[in-house]
A and B are shown apart, each in its own frame.
Chain A
Amino acid sequence: MARARAEVDEVPAGFAEEVERAARQSGAVALRTLRPAQGKLTRRAEGLLFDALARRGLERTARALRVPLRDQLAALLAAGEPIATASLRKQLKGVVNAAELTLVVADQVRAGRAALVMRGGKEHIAAPSAALLSRDEVAQVATLARALSRLAASARPAGAARKAGARSRAPRTLLRAELLALLDPLHRAAAGDDRPDGDPLALVMAAARGQTNPTTGLAFVPEVARALGGRLEGDALRAALVRAARSGMVELRPESGIELLSPSDAAACPRGPDGSPLSWMRVLDPVDRAGPVDRGGP
């Protein structure tokens, strides 16, 4: 005769921590696996366990115990790379159904913690950053696309000539300068440059925003220089950086890496009073620009 398995009416010490650790490591654990070595949990013990885990910030579904989807999503987005929305269900653990996922994504986008972005024709979700176009910029792209389409259409043989066949007419082409003039606003929108053409300060600010690490909020000056693609170099670049710092738009910070700065990179950087290269910059937000916080004590 099979021996009846003992039931445990209290949550064994350390079991909640063990389950939490497992859930946080893998994102979710199946409820059926929640069985301590001492035996099966009674309903009461299960209730106590779920209460304890809920207090530790874990969610329970019908089949699993999971880290909240929004936290899992935030952790995925923190890696910096956009994620295809279609693959989210596989990447997040313990998802109950697609509707729930759609709700979480919409919620995060509405709260400004995530953005939906098209990449290669497929919808992706990404952390908001200067690398993404704003709604206005997307509208501008649409306008430019229509203009570009019109320009391309103008190069096609028109009306009767098209019916008579291409052989009867010489092919048409376009002026390179006209195409570049049309594309220029597109480049600027892509670089986040909303200032008048050719303003070095605007170019530097746009490049700095694009190169800012979303986690640390810092941009590496030589990378900013490279992002400018030769539009601003040498003394002009350094002067623009100093101007941006003097006008309170950025903070220039001394190099603090250990042999991370090559001589050519160092040459792109303005210098501090002691001659050390100012190789990092931080775009100041309006609060930073308002000045120091006034506090009563240290």
Chain B
Amino acid sequence: MTSILHQQHADPWSTSLLDVASLNARVSDAVLAAIDSARGAALAGGPDRHSHSFLVLGPAGAGKTHLFARLRRSAGARAAFVLLRPELAVEPTPRHVLAQAVDALRRPIPEQPERSQLDVVVGSAVSVLNGAGARWPAVALDQLRAAPDRERQDALERAVDVIERSHPEIEPDWLVRFLALPFAGGADRRAAFQWLSGREPDVLQLERLGFRDPLPEASVLPALRTLSAVASFSAPFVVVFDQLENLVDEDGGTGRIHSHARLFCELHDTVPGLVLVQMSLEAEWQRRISPALASSERSRMEAAVLRLVLPTPPQRAELMEAWLGALPPEARRPLPWPFAAESWQMRQDALGVTPRMLMIAAREALERGIAAAASLDSEAEAGAGAAGEPVGPLEPASLADSLDDLWDEHVDQARAAIDEAASAGHPVDGGRITSGVTAALRLLGAAVEVASARQPHQLRVGDGPAPVDLYVVQKAHPRSVAAQLERAAQAAATRPVVALREAARPFPPSWRQVAAHLEALVDRPRARWLELGHDEVASLLAVHDLLASARSQDLAGVDGRPIPESDVRSWAREQLGIRGWRAIAALLEPGAADEDREPGPPRAAPIALVPALPRDARKAGEDRGEPPPRPAPIALVPALPRDARKAAGPTHPADHPAPGGVLSAADPVVAAIRRLRLASIDRILREARAVDPELMLSSALDRLRALASRLRWFGRSLVWWEEDDR
């Protein structure tokens, strides 16, 4: 399901496209002209740089996402693209844009995978400032890389001086760090990326950078202006706000529309040199979004409206030729294949055909054979012929299959996003996890209030006398984490609280203050602490994106028609087992114990391990001077069949007992400590996760405690394996 022929909607970052150059050429030409104009203004040293804005409207399947991919491919190294989609619990702020823009710089240039956008932006700026023009960024970078440190430092400082003279609005400190990025080594580079993106670096990263704090709020807009100024020498930033129909709240509220409008106007007015593009379903924009805007907002956001047009009959033939061209030569036949002749004639001449409809019909015809396609056509024609009567919905089995595949696709994308964040050295943004929880809860009809950035919690769930507060503890710095946990513990004194964190980002044992606050939190009877596994986080991200795509009508059935949002929502409610997801269950039933909730997946026989005891039992035993009682068996992660996993939804690894009866030498934690002998907990966890990516810190610690007789502890973070010495 990964070939270009199987893509139901275009991958915005794909470089292999089925493109008909004449289709919507006016729209792409307008944006490309704006890119050239932004480059020209900066290259000419023109002070009168301003931002360009476009609003692109079209029906579902007309090619909005395809337009993004086409622009990216056409512009090549001439522009840097940022794609932003509304998230339910992410406030659209300049900091969010900065983070996404800096992330975008890591992406390779289309058709030049060895060069990143960052290389081009920095290389061109340095090259232009040296008087060599923007054509040879790689040469400029290579020369600087080869130069001695002192010489390179001088060259970069000269560049900063020159840029500052022509663009006094920039932030010099930020620029110095930014220009040094391509020359930094792995860890330094990750640390600098983290700080430059406006995210919170961890302690070690701040130490590396020589800073005490993350980028302050007052520096975010200047940083964006700096980035825009530097990029506009060679590759101006094209900031694309996609799927804006998702700004419309289900209850008709306009708060999110105004938040977006404020951000857009702020970027438009105060960050020169950007090319701003908004994309939305036309009906939603005209009837729901535009009427909600103030006239000052409308004058900026609707300054240039570009409509996507539907393909004409000759363009449909061209599109089909391109599609056939992507098939292996031996499987290729001339048009009207894979359609029957009459079917192709009908599709070519019919009114209201979008490119997506045509592509999906061609794929179905290919996969099901011409006979099946003809039968689909005749059904469609019969339906279309009856005036005012829509064609019947898809067969339930077919709909479920389609949604099953789409769900898998979204989960895979979510996993990729988590991995991408991990490789960039930062956790998944807390806002994304909060958005996933919000989407899942709203799907179940729960009352959810997204908190503002000033409030300590992220969500408040329930409208009864005791709503539950959610704290998403995804920060990287112990100071912020400790503060968040402290606030959560304080809140838990008066109301139920659920706090969660990605299990893949365990707290290092050296974070003592964090550990103390966490202990205080879990001691509260109304508090629950959850460490979410990789799959649990992926499911939360995926459910948000699936529902957002449904609202954008980007999920199409086998007939090429968008699957109605209501069908997607009821399928998700019934099939994904969302009530059983730990984070959701904890928020919906804060008082219920784990075992009271919905049954989990089929379980295998438990493994006998010696895990940590419940805190109360341990404490009571110590007080009486008794040896600790033998604890209950610990649960490990079994490998379940895919269907069983899906039916049960994502669950905590600790919910799954593993087969076997004793802790074996093959256990990843045991294997790691036996191999390393002396190691930190962090190191053991890293090694063990290479074998079992779902392994959590708590589980690893439990296993280490179970090996107490063979281990010697040095403080809280180092252990020594003594088996072979005895």
**Is A97 interfacial (CB-CB < 8 Å)?**
no
Q: Give the distance in Å from the alpha carbon of A255 to the alpha carbon of B357 in the complex.
A: 14
Q: Give the distance in Å from the alpha carbon of A61 to the alpha carbon of B168 in the complex.
A: 25
Contacts of A234 in B (CB 8 A): 387
Q: Mark contacts of A217-233 with chain B using CB atoms, 8 A cut-off: 1 yes-contact digit, 0 otherwise.
A: 11010000000000000
Q: A252-B352, A292-B22 are in contact. Are A274 and B391 (CB under 8 A)?
A: yes
Contact segment of B296-304, B484-492, B498-506: B296-304
Partner of A272, one of B269, B309, B384, B565: B384
Contact A280 B19 (CB under 8 A): no
Contacts of B50 in A (CB 8 A): 56-57
Contacts of A291 in B (CB 8 A): 312
Tell me the nearest residue of chain A to B307, going by C-beta.
Answer: A217
**Is B48 interfacial (CB-CB < 8 Å)?**
yes
Q: Give the distance in Å from the alpha carbon of A279 to the alpha carbon of B607 in the complex.
A: 62
Contact B28 A298 (CB under 8 A): yes
Within 8 A of B (CB), among A242-285: 242, 245-246, 251-260, 266-267, 270-280, 282
Min C-beta distance of A91 to chain B, whole Å: 10
Q: Give the distance in Å from the alpha carbon of A238 to the alpha carbon of B384 in the complex.
A: 12
Contact A292 B60 (CB under 8 A): no
Q: Mark contacts of A162-185 with chain B using CB atoms, 8 A cut-off: 1 yes-contact digit, 0 otherwise.
A: 000000000000000000000000
**Is B396 interfacial (CB-CB < 8 Å)?**
no
**Is A1 interfacial (CB-CB < 8 Å)?**
no
Q: Give the distance in Å from the alpha carbon of A56 to the alpha carbon of B273 in the complex.
A: 12
Q: A13-B168, A21-B270, A257-B284 are in contact. Are A274 and B380 (CB under 8 A)?
A: yes
Contact A218 B286 (CB under 8 A): yes
Min C-beta distance of A202 to chain B, whole Å: 20
Q: Mark contacts of B16-33 with chain A using CB atoms, 8 A cut-off: 1 yes-contact digit, 0 otherwise.
A: 010101110110110000
Q: A21-B269, A251-B309, A277-B390 are in contact. Are A272 and B352 (CB under 8 A)?
A: yes
Q: A25-B296, A292-B25, A295-B21 are in contact. Are A274 and B357 (CB under 8 A)?
A: yes
Q: Give the distance in Å from the alpha carbon of A126 to the alpha carbon of B675 in the complex.
A: 80
**Is A7 interfacial (CB-CB < 8 Å)?**
no
Contact A293 B305 (CB under 8 A): no
Residue in B168, B248, B290 whose Cβ sees the most chain A Cβ within 10 Å: B168
**Is B205 interfacial (CB-CB < 8 Å)?**
no
Partner of A75, one of B58, B73, B295, B310: B295
Partner of B70, one of A79, A253, A293, A298: A298
Tell me the nearest residue of chain A to B376, going by C-beta.
Answer: A274
Contacts of B248 in A (CB 8 A): 258
Contact A293 B26 (CB under 8 A): yes
**Is B282 interfacial (CB-CB < 8 Å)?**
yes
Contact B299 A78 (CB under 8 A): yes
Tell me the nearest residue of chain A to B311, going by C-beta.
Answer: A292
Partner of A280, one of B26, B283, B312, B387: B283
Contact B310 A273 (CB under 8 A): no
Q: Give the distance in Å from the alpha carbon of A23 to the alpha carbon of B388 in the complex.
A: 52
Contact A273 B381 (CB under 8 A): yes
Partner of B565, one of A14, A74, A253, A258: A258
Contact B384 A55 (CB under 8 A): no
Contact A271 B383 (CB under 8 A): yes
Min C-beta distance of A289 to chain B, whole Å: 11
**Is B59 interfacial (CB-CB < 8 Å)?**
yes
Contacts of A87 in B (CB 8 A): none
Q: Mark contacts of B671-708 with chain A using CB atoms, 8 A cut-off: 1 yes-contact digit, 0 otherwise.
A: 00000000000000000000000000000000000000
Residue in A234, A242, A256, A276 whose Cβ sees the most chain B Cβ within 10 Å: A256
Contacts of A251 in B (CB 8 A): 309-310
**Is A120 interfacial (CB-CB < 8 Å)?**
no
Q: A253-B310, A258-B565, A273-B346 are in contact. Are A79 and B295 (CB under 8 A)?
A: yes
Contact segment of B95-103, B186-194, B553-561: B553-561
Residue in A14, A215, A278 whose Cβ sees the most chain B Cβ within 10 Å: A215
Contact A258 B561 (CB under 8 A): no
Contact A213 B286 (CB under 8 A): yes
Q: Give the distance in Å from the alpha carbon of A234 to the alpha carbon of B270 in the complex.
A: 52
**Is A199 interfacial (CB-CB < 8 Å)?**
no
**Is A288 interfacial (CB-CB < 8 Å)?**
yes
Tell me the nearest residue of chain B to A255, going by C-beta.
Answer: B283
Contact A272 B351 (CB under 8 A): yes
Contact A17 B553 (CB under 8 A): no
**Is B37 interfacial (CB-CB < 8 Å)?**
no
Contact A280 B351 (CB under 8 A): no
Q: Give the distance in Å from the alpha carbon of A200 to the alpha carbon of B560 in the complex.
A: 32
Contacts of A78 in B (CB 8 A): 295, 298-299, 302
Q: Give the distance in Å from the alpha carbon of A290 to the alpha carbon of B22 in the complex.
A: 13
Within 8 A of B (CB), among A30-50: none
**Is B287 interfacial (CB-CB < 8 Å)?**
yes
Q: Give the distance in Å from the alpha carbon of A13 to the alpha carbon of B222 in the complex.
A: 10
Q: Mark contacts of B626-643 with chain A using CB atoms, 8 A cut-off: 1 yes-contact digit, 0 otherwise.
A: 000000000000000000
Contact B347 A215 (CB under 8 A): no
Q: Give the distance in Å from the alpha carbon of A55 to the alpha carbon of B354 in the complex.
A: 44
Q: A213-B286, A260-B283 are in contact. Are A273 and B390 (CB under 8 A)?
A: no
Within 8 A of A (CB), among B370-399: 377, 380-381, 383-384, 387-388, 390-391
Q: A216-B285, A292-B312 are in contact. Are A275 and B391 (CB under 8 A)?
A: yes
Q: A74-B299, A258-B551, A275-B380 are in contact. Are A297 and B21 (CB under 8 A)?
A: yes
Tell me the nearest residue of chain B to A20, going by C-beta.
Answer: B269
Min C-beta distance of B163 to chain A, whole Å: 14
Tell me the nearest residue of chain B to A248, going by C-beta.
Answer: B312
Contact B28 A254 (CB under 8 A): no
Contact B295 A76 (CB under 8 A): yes
**Is B567 interfacial (CB-CB < 8 Å)?**
no
Contacts of B29 in A (CB 8 A): 293, 295
Q: Give the distance in Å from the alpha carbon of A276 to the alpha carbon of B667 in the complex.
A: 57
Tell me the nearest residue of chain A to B391, going by C-beta.
Answer: A275
Contact B169 A17 (CB under 8 A): yes
**Is B138 interfacial (CB-CB < 8 Å)?**
no
Min C-beta distance of A167 to chain B, whole Å: 58
Contacts of A279 in B (CB 8 A): 283
Q: Give the distance in Å from the alpha carbon of A13 to the alpha carbon of B73 in the complex.
A: 38
**Is A124 interfacial (CB-CB < 8 Å)?**
no
Q: Give the distance in Å from the alpha carbon of A296 to the alpha carbon of B28 in the complex.
A: 13
Contact B390 A271 (CB under 8 A): yes
Contacts of A14 in B (CB 8 A): 169, 222
Contact A252 B351 (CB under 8 A): yes
Contacts of B561 in A (CB 8 A): 274-276
**Is B541 interfacial (CB-CB < 8 Å)?**
no
**Is B468 interfacial (CB-CB < 8 Å)?**
no
Contacts of A252 in B (CB 8 A): 351-352
Q: A274-B560, A298-B28 are in contact. Are A266 and B270 (CB under 8 A)?
A: no
Min C-beta distance of A68 to chain B, whole Å: 13
Min C-beta distance of A82 to chain B, whole Å: 14
Contact B270 A257 (CB under 8 A): no
Contact sample, A vs B, 12 pairs, CB 8 Å cutoff:
A25-B296, A76-B295, A216-B290, A216-B307, A245-B351, A258-B553, A267-B387, A272-B350, A274-B380, A274-B391, A275-B561, A292-B314
Given contact pairs A52-B47, A254-B354, A259-B566, enumerate 18 new A-B contacts (beta carbons under 8 Å).
A25-B296, A55-B47, A76-B295, A220-B283, A252-B351, A260-B284, A260-B288, A272-B384, A273-B352, A274-B380, A274-B560, A280-B59, A292-B312, A292-B315, A293-B22, A293-B29, A294-B22, A298-B73
Top 7 A-B residue pairs of the complex, sorted by shortest distance between their CB atoms = A275-B391, A257-B283, A272-B352, A75-B299, A273-B350, A267-B388, A292-B22
